[in-house]
Structure 1
Amino acid sequence: MDSIIVKGGGELRGQIPIAGAKNACLTLMPATLLSHEPLTLTNAPRLSDIATMTQLLQSLGAEVTSMQGGQVLAMSSHDIHNHTADYDIVRKMRASILVLGPMLARDGHAIVSLPGGCAIGARPVDLHLKGLEALGAVLDLKDGYVHAEARGGLKGATFEFPVVSVGATENVLMAATLAKGTTVLKNAAREPEIVDLAECLIKMGAQIEGHGTSTITIQGVDSLGGATHPVVTDRIELGTYMLAPAFCGGEVELLGGRINLVGAFCEKLDAAGVDVTETPLGLKVKRSNGRVNAVDVVTEPFPGFPTDLQAQMMALLCTAEGTSVLEEKIFENRFMHAPELIRMGARIDVHGGHATVTGVDKLKGAPVMATDLRASVSLILAGLAAEGETIVNRVYHLDRGYERVEEKLRAVGAHIERVKSQ
């Protein structure tokens, strides 16, 4: 397996372009299954997860063509000849479950394997299934597969998610676009990726109101057409690279960044003593003199602090002045990076969903192991500010969510390289 070697020291200066959002693109791609006409996505990120979703869609009969170095995806689902999403593909990525709603809405039947992905807790798909059942789907779980039918077509309904779920909101939203009648989704997720999906579906002819709020109303239509749609900026990649100068000092401009994508995160950076300003091209970030200040963080659904930035923020707070408390309220098992940061000299005490971080003057480079996607990049960031050399092992997770991370960080002055496995 590849490793990343990081040598700490030195300020960062320059520009980093931010890619289209992985989580948005992985949701937009299954939307092609809703229509017989072409769907083209621009500003697509070049990631292994996108390749996995491409493979899955192609296995169902969709045509997916990657152009302009992978930043444009031209898709067509005029001939869906297979309605089984196989375990061998689905196990690689949780977003694979998002083909269930579109296939069920379009053709009235689908068989989808239960998904895999990062090992950061149970992350069940029960809310996806309950939402689809509310629309009239008949579901049966057997041998690790969801067997779904709606032979007479899905029917509009009012469904309230018992807890906010981004993936379930996306799946049921897509299915509802072709359901007969009106669907009202209450306690729906409000993430920018939900808004981006709804705007793409509206371009395809869907009738949707309320996206970006907790109540989304969908008036079903008989069919959807084609569209061309740009993928929204990746707010998690944005937040990750915003932290780089906070670790190292200097000033970095994040091209394509917008504060409204990371508002709660920016509030915590401000409290920590990190300056964020808008520019005509994006966001400019620099750290005030000296160590950052300790801050408390609670992860919450959007517009709260993102769980996908918790690991990176914890790494920063390891060198803060004072003691910080982080509470993880979205996923269990999402402090698996803490023991690796401790190997680098951090002082972290984890109790259940709480982590207490007492800042130290300096982290020290060490061999560490990445446990999941966000943990991978948090250890790289920590290595940028640590004394000596940090070797981050098992970085295959990294390529699922960050494109060309070494190239982007080297461009602003980081000492980082990838070592290929033998």
Structure 2
Amino acid sequence: MDLLRIQGGVPIRGETRVYGAKNAALPILAATVMAAGTSVIEDVPNLEDVRVMMQILEQLGARVRWYSTTSVEVDASSIHSTNVPADLMQRMRSSIFLMGPLLARFGDVTLSKPGGCVIGQRPIDYHLHGMRQLGAKIEERHGYIRCSARRLVGTSITLDFPSVGATENLMMAAALADGVTVIENAAREPEVEDLAQFLMASGAAIDGAGSDTVVIHGCSHLHDTTYQIIPDRIVTGTLLLAAAATRGEVTVLGARLNHLGAIVQKLRDTGVRVDVDRDIITVKCDETPQAVDFRTAPFPGFPTDLQAPFMALLTTSSGTSVIHESVFEARFKHVDELKRMGADIAVDMRTAVVRGVPTLSGARVTASDLRGGAALLVAALMADGTTEVDGVKHIDRGYQSIEEHLAMLGARSERVSL
């Protein structure tokens, strides 16, 4: 087991380039099984979740390898199984993305219910309901789900909630279905649009990705392609928040402002300076940030994945902030750990009230989920003294060698093996 040891109170400064988005890489890697050939995905982050997805693809029979330090090659021509390994599914929720691609190409897929971070109820009902509408037969027994269909047929699907995962899974399944599929109330996240761009680069016909109505014209097959995924907006946001929290100055290269509008606006509302020049974003903070209120929402609203790190920044702001978590009901698990460091936070159901304090103090804390772990890192960087963060396995699922990344910006951070 590892922990991260951080000596806080040091402003982070410097320039860094953001790597590819985990939440784009995972569905795109899953989608490679739809092409009976070789796909090369570029700018893939070397993360635990990515490695698990690669292991799943290998066990299905695909030939998978790192094509370079940042590119993954998948040859799906040799896939011989449509049974997704249960042990690997329990390690990563995003394994559910294989449902649509395997069903579309082979007409059959068996999965167990996926694992991952416990941040609230994230049922896969939207996925299953949509697959049924496309003509799939669904059997659920003893924790396993089997989907089968002689042929998927295009239809009109309206999601009760703009679920990112369901939108992506249905879009992949519909890409090889007969006829036209229309997904209403679709998720608008940049990762959805990126998946659509990959599918189109492979020969699919899709209109409207990135809007609330996506139209997929089914085709007979997908072909080989090489595709570069988008930069990770959540990693970018975390670095910008860490700079502000430590009263530092950080420039992030390769960012996309149109993916970060809500977080940039809220940072500016706190009084933090944010400068943007094309794909370069610089945050500079010299004074105590002011309290702000915000509510998480599907894109283009404030991203739930940055709620916890932003809360960490607000723990030493001037005034009282109110945060409402509208996406996941159990996404305040980091609060007790922040309070161990001296934060003044009260939670009532899905609302957190954060009263700014002069400073946080180093402590031994534990990450229980990915984004809560990011909040503890931000808090540790700004706290007086030394903080040791347990539960690093959660952080590693979304941040690549985070202690090295922070150290390059001047943070006193190290990984310690126990």
Verify same fold: TM over 0.5.
Answer: yes
Q: How does 1:123-272 map to 2 (within 5 A)?
A: 123-151=122-150, 153-272=151-270
Q: State the match for 2:280 in structure 1.
A: 282
Deviation at 1:395, TM superposition (A): 1.1
Deviation at 1:10, TM superposition (A): 2.3
Q: Does 1:379 align with 2:365?
A: no
Q: 2 CA distance for matches of 1:364 and 1:76?
A: 50
Q: Does 1:355 align with 2:352?
A: yes
Deviation at 1:121, TM superposition (A): 1.1
Q: 2 CA distance for matches of 1:147 and 1:218?
A: 24
- Alignment length (residue pairs): 418
Q: Encode CA deviations 1:4-35: one digit per residue, 9 max, x unaligned.
A: 11111222211122110001000100111111
Matched residue type, 1:143: H
Assess if the C-alpha contact under 8 Å between 2:193 and 2:209 holds in 1. yes
Assess if the C-alpha contact under 8 Å between 1:109 and 1:150 holds in 2. yes
Q: Does 1:304 align with 2:301?
A: yes
SS where residue 105 of structure 1 aligns?
helix
Matched residue type, 1:283: I
Q: State the match for 1:60 in structure 2.
A: 60
Q: State the match for 1:121 in structure 2.
A: 120
Assess if the C-alpha contact under 8 Å between 1:323 and 1:358 holds in 2. yes
Matched residue type, 1:224: L
Q: State the match for 2:18 in structure 1.
A: 18
Give me the CA root mean square deviation: 0.9
Assess if the C-alpha contact under 8 Å between 1:311 and 1:374 holds in 2. yes
Percent identity for Structure 1 against Structure 2: 45
Q: 2 CA distance for matches of 1:252 and 1:230?
A: 25
Q: 1 CA distance for matches of 2:227 and 2:387?
A: 40
Bigger shift: residues 1-10 or 185-194: 1-10
Q: Encode CA deviations 1:310-368: one digit per residue, 9 max, x unaligned.
A: 00000000001000011011111100000000000000000100000000010111111
Q: 2 CA distance for matches of 1:266 and 1:109?
A: 44
Matched residue type, 2:415: R
Q: 2 CA distance for matches of 1:12 and 1:80?
A: 46
Q: Encode CA deviations 1:253-290: one digit per residue, 9 max, x unaligned.
A: 11211211110111100101112112355211111x32
Bigger shift: residues 153-162 or 33-42: 33-42
Bigger shift: residues 389-398 or 9-18: 9-18
Q: 2 CA distance for matches of 1:199 and 1:293?
A: 39
Assess if the C-alpha contact under 8 Å between 2:256 and 2:279 holds in 1. no
Deviation at 1:145, TM superposition (A): 1.0
Q: State the match for 1:419 in structure 2.
A: 416
Matched residue type, 2:372: A
Assess if the C-alpha contact under 8 Å between 1:233 and 1:256 holds in 2. yes
Q: How does 1:35-74 map to 2 (within 5 A)?
A: 35-69=35-69, 71-74=70-73
Deviation at 1:377, TM superposition (A): 1.5
Q: State the match for 1:32 in structure 2.
A: 32
TM-score by length of 2: 0.99
Deviation at 1:67, TM superposition (A): 2.6
Q: 1 CA distance for matches of 2:13 and 2:292?
A: 25
Assess if the C-alpha contact under 8 Å between 2:4 and 2:413 holds in 1. yes
Q: State the match for 2:390 in structure 1.
A: 393
SS where residue 157 of structure 2 aligns?
strand
Q: 2 CA distance for matches of 1:339 and 1:34?
A: 44
Assess if the C-alpha contact under 8 Å between 1:258 and 1:278 holds in 2. no
SS where residue 78 of structure 2 aligns?
coil
Matched residue type, 1:214: D
SS where residue 84 of structure 1 aligns?
coil
Q: 2 CA distance for matches of 1:175 and 1:96?
A: 15
Assess if the C-alpha contact under 8 Å between 2:321 and 2:355 holds in 1. yes
Segments of 5+ residues of structure 1 without an aligned counterpart are: none
Q: 1 CA distance for matches of 2:4 and 2:37?
A: 42
Q: 1 CA distance for matches of 2:10 and 2:373?
A: 21
Matched residue type, 1:271: D
Matched residue type, 2:229: V
Segments of 5+ residues of structure 2 without an aligned counterpart are: none
Q: Encode CA deviations 1:181-219: one digit per residue, 9 max, x unaligned.
A: 000000000000001000010011100000010000001
Matched residue type, 2:199: L
Q: 2 CA distance for matches of 1:369 and 1:213?
A: 38
Q: State the match for 1:85 in structure 2.
A: 84
Q: 2 CA distance for matches of 1:370 and 1:248?
A: 20
Q: 2 CA distance for matches of 1:281 and 1:264?
A: 16
Q: 1 CA distance for matches of 2:113 and 2:293?
A: 36
Matched residue type, 2:54: T
